[in-house]
Amino acid sequence: MSTEAHPLLAHHFETLDQQRESSTLAMWIFLVTEIMFFGGLFMAYLLYRWKFPLAFHAGSHHLDIRLGAFNTIVLICSSLTMALGVRAAQTGERKKLTGFMVLTLILGFVFLGVKAIEYHDKFAHHLIPGLHFQWDGPGGREVQLFYSLYFAMTGLHALHMIIGAGLILWLLPSCVRGKYTADYYHPIECFGLYWHFVDIVWIFLFPLLYLLGRH
Amino acid sequence: MSMHVSPIRNYVGVFVTLLALTLITVVVAFQDLGPLNTLVALGIAITKATIVILFFMHAKYSTRLTKLVIVSAFVWLLFLFVFTMSDFVTRGMMGVSGK
């Protein structure tokens, strides 16, 4: 095939392959900054957990492990639908791509819905750090620190999910129109990288926040 | 075109592996292994993340430059954790005031 004449090849690239590899590399460089961004929060978590292990233990005990595990499974499912969506884009299957993107979006909303239920529960039990934080037990200040990190980490993660859902809505019309083919699919590939990255953050958040201190 | 299209059964295999590892990590969390609990949980999380990066994110089939960028991210993350904790944990060891 003559890739040079492709209408979607930007003028500063030699070939479609080079164009795709460049965008994948650039997306990964963005994800490196994201890893360091979340890394700062994981650093804070590590340090304070080292300092206050019992308070983190106690705070974690109040999180609902069933909801956390359910959301973990939801995100793994959404990663599968996303990966199959990218594959459908590679093979130029328009209807499959659209279907998998919609499924990924729905699973994203399921995750956010469960998260909203959990946040509401924390609100009802006065576990939001601040003036109205209540903790019947020793080490209330340290437990508040655990909940500050819980909300900062899961909140930042949820924000990424919301942005991801917005990006799917933005990409959907062009999926429906059949813009993505074996020659040109890197926008879907790059979005897939972002979505999987958000899944990986949760893969670490789940054991660190929910599973700590279950035994 | 040098792009790699993985067979669907590979993706399903990765999916099943991720679900199995999630089940294992939940079951292990309810056993009392002392300090090993955290290590096992982290080990499983790192395994899951590696599988996602290699297969779902196609790192296995990417260019060498992209692979280098991916690895560098985690090296830098390790610097952040190791150097901060090596300072924090060893404070007060010297018995010098202000240290």
Phi-psi region of A26 (alpha: psi -120 to 50; beta: other; left: phi over 0): alpha
ipTM score assigned to the predicted complex: 0.91
Of the two residues A4 and A116, the one the predictor is more confident about is A116
Rounded alpha-carbon distances, angstroms, from residue B1 to A1, A17, A20, A180, A200: 9, 7, 11, 15, 29
Both structure tokens of A111: 């995750």
Closest residue in A to B14 (Cα) is A80
One-character DSSP codes across A89-101: HHTT-HHHHHHHH
* Contact between chains at A32 and B69 (C-beta distance less than 8 A): yes
With a cut of 50, list the residues of chain B below it in pLDDT.
Answer: 1
Q: To which H or E segment does residue A189 belong? A: helix A186-205
What does the pLDDT read at residue A3? Answer: 46
Tell me, yes or no, if A31 comes closer than 8 A to chain B by beta carbon: yes
- Residue in A25, A80, A207 nearest the CB of B15: A80
**Residue type for position B61:** Y
Dihedrals φ, ψ of A88, to 5°? -65, -35
Q: To which H or E segment does residue A164 belong? A: helix A140-177
Rounded alpha-carbon distances, angstroms, from residue A24 to A15, A29, A194, B44, B77: 14, 9, 11, 27, 21
The proportion of chain A whose per-residue pLDDT surpasses 70, expressed as a percent, equals 97
Closest residue in B to A201 (Cα) is B49
Closest residue in B to A23 (Cα) is B66
Contact A180, A16 (CB under 8 A): no
- pLDDT, average across residues A35-60: 94
Q: Which residues of A touch B42 (CB under 8 A)?
A: 207
Check pLDDT > 70 for residue A5.
no
Closest by CA to A168, choosing from A110, A112, A109, is A109
Both structure tokens of A44: 């804070």
* Contact between chains at A199 and B58 (C-beta distance less than 8 A): no
Q: How confident is the model over A77-135, as pLDDT tens digits?
A: 999 999 999 999 999 999 999 999 999 999 999 999 999 999 999 999 899 998 888 88
Q: What is the pTM of this model?
A: 0.93
* Contact between chains at A17 and B77 (C-beta distance less than 8 A): no
Give residue for tokens 């164009």: A19
Closest by CA to A79, choosing from B78, B17, B86, is B17
Q: Which residues of A touch B31 (CB under 8 A)?
A: 215
Give residue for tokens 């990966």: A83
* Contact between chains at B41 and A207 (C-beta distance less than 8 A): yes
What does the pLDDT read at residue B2? Answer: 54
How many contacts, defined by CB atoms under 8 Å, are there between A and B?
Answer: 132
Q: Which residues of A touch B1 (CB under 8 A)?
A: 3, 16-17, 182-183
Q: Which residues of A touch B2 (CB under 8 A)?
A: 17
The answer to whether the Cα torsion of B22, B26, B32, B38 is positive or negative is positive
- Residue in B19, B29, B45 nearest the CB of A76: B19
DSSP conformation class of A4: G
Q: How confident is the model over A130-157, as pLDDT tens digits?
A: 888 888 888 888 999 999 999 999 999 9
Check pLDDT > 60 for residue A187.
yes
